Amino acid sequence: MGILMIFALVAALAFINVLIVRLFQRRGAGRGWWTTLIITWITGAALGIYSGFVFEYRPTPSLRVFGAPIPAAVFHWEGPPGKEEWVDFVTPAPHLFAMSNVVILGLFTACPVGPLFWLWRRAPVGSEGT
């Protein structure tokens, strides 16, 4: 069930990015806007590589989570006093979950570019007539 939610999230983000590209094409976005969009995709993918394959955080002292926003593995500190150890739960497809972070963050970081472009094009360019 979790994998289906990941695919739904990726599909929704991809749809939003397609809308941004179509907006750029319809409104004749300049080279700077296209460069900004490509840079945000690359930056998001790089952030996704880091967060999916390297990033680890501890929401509690006895819990370690590897990967974000979609965790690839979770480690829990448990056992009798003096013999505690990290017990792991690795997701069924850890590389798929880690790789999904690359796609999700790559598409997600570009989402603000569309509304910014839309607002920029709506703003009056000069104060002509006043």
pLDDT digits (tens, 9 = 90+) for 49-97: 999 899 999 999 999 999 888 888 899 999 888 888 989 888 888 888 8
Question: Would you state the pLDDT for residue 15?
Answer: 95
Structural domain harbouring 71 = 38-112
Q: Is residue 31 one of the residues assigned to a domain?
A: no
| Structural domains of the chain, count | 1
Q: Is residue 93 one of the residues assigned to a domain?
A: yes
Pairing assessment for the beta strands 56-60 and 73-78 based on DSSP bridges = unpaired
Closest Cα partner for 118 from 36, 24, 50? 24
Q: Is residue 100 one of the residues assigned to a domain?
A: yes
Q: Is residue 128 one of the residues assigned to a domain?
A: no
Q: Is residue 64 one of the residues assigned to a domain?
A: yes
Q: Is residue 16 one of the residues assigned to a domain?
A: no
Q: Is residue 77 one of the residues assigned to a domain?
A: yes
- pLDDT of 124 over the 70 cut: no
